[in-house]
Amino acid sequence: MAALSVYQAIFLGIVQGLTEFLPVSSSGHLLVLRWLFGWPLTNDASALGKTFDVALHCGTLIALFAYYARDAIVLVAAWLRSIWRRRIAQPTERLAWLIIVTMVPAGLFGYFGEELIERRLGWPVLISLNLIFFGLVLALAEKIGRKQRAAEEVRLRDAVAIGCAQALALFPGVSRSGITITAGLFLGLKRDAAARFTFLMSLPIIAATAFYKGAHLAKAGIPAGMGLPFCAGVVASALSGYAAVAFLIRLLQRRTVYPFVWYRIAAGLGFLGLWLARAR
């Protein structure tokens, strides 16, 4: 398969950055694009696909850290301080440990099930159904969630529940930010607090994924012709990802999540219609 062009890399980087942080599923959109155009994308088993997967994760990691750099530094310092003291004495220390708790379910599920999911569950029909179904679940959370608590008020059982919800994001079409914001709303968090906790807990997961896959890429090397598209993909996903995070946080301070519900339903029906048209 030919290498991606720089223009393709920029386009896909923008799609990754936007859909990774908006609650609409990056893996679902990228897999559908791969199916439509035959481009090597994330979850593609080819060397080109794996290389570009690393580029996309690096870009989104840069975006998230750039937006939450101060919070990340404070939380890491608080976590180290609690280890030094051998006790949790401050809200930031507690929040840091709760973020680590959320990593456990997704980490275990990803370690044992990611390969199977990538091979068997990337079908356009399943992606479409996940977009629609979990969009409706997000609408239900918006309707019945009390929306009264801040991110610092997350409890241990909340962190476990949100962590388990995050594990579902391995299924294409679910959306990491979508399912964790949904869980946060069900648990009574404010909309922007649910989004903030989602992004803070995504930082170590995305970082671990980027470093893990990047280590494999460092051993194999970047395939010929992928150097410039790799850099373009990193920059495009970083810039669009930062814009998506800033937009979502500000939107949820004043508005509901319903625009994303309608988008998920429309996209799911649209992808399903394309699949049915091609199947004939």
**Amino acid type, 240:** S
What does the pLDDT read at residue 3?
65
Mean pLDDT over residues 238-256, rounded?
97
What does the pLDDT read at residue 47?
56
What does the pLDDT read at residue 46?
55
CA angle at 149 for the pair 97 and 153, rounded to the nearest 5°: 25
Mean pLDDT over residues 203-207, rounded?
90
pLDDT at position 207 over 70: yes
Length of the chain: 280
For the chain, give every domain's residue range. 6-279
If pLDDT is split at 50, 70 and 90, which confidence band does 215 have?
A: confident
Exposure of 27 by Cβ count < 10 A (0-12 exposed, 13-18 middle, 19+ buried)? buried
The neighbouring-strand residues paired with 189 are 149
Q: Is 189 strand, coil or helix? A: strand
Among 42-46, 74-78, 88-92, 233-237, which stretch is predicted with the lowest mean pLDDT? 42-46
101 contacts: CB under 8 Å, gap ≥ 6:
156, 159, 160, 163
Decide if 23 contacts 260 (C-beta within 8 A).
Answer: yes
Q: Which residues of 200-231 are buried (b: 16+ CB within 10 A; e: fewer)?
A: bbbbbbbbbbbeebbeebeeeebbeebeebbb
Residue 34: which of 141, 100, 118, 114 has the closest Cα?
118
Percent of the chain with pLDDT over 70: 90
pTM above 0.75, yes or no: yes
pLDDT at position 162 over 50: yes
What does the pLDDT read at residue 227?
83
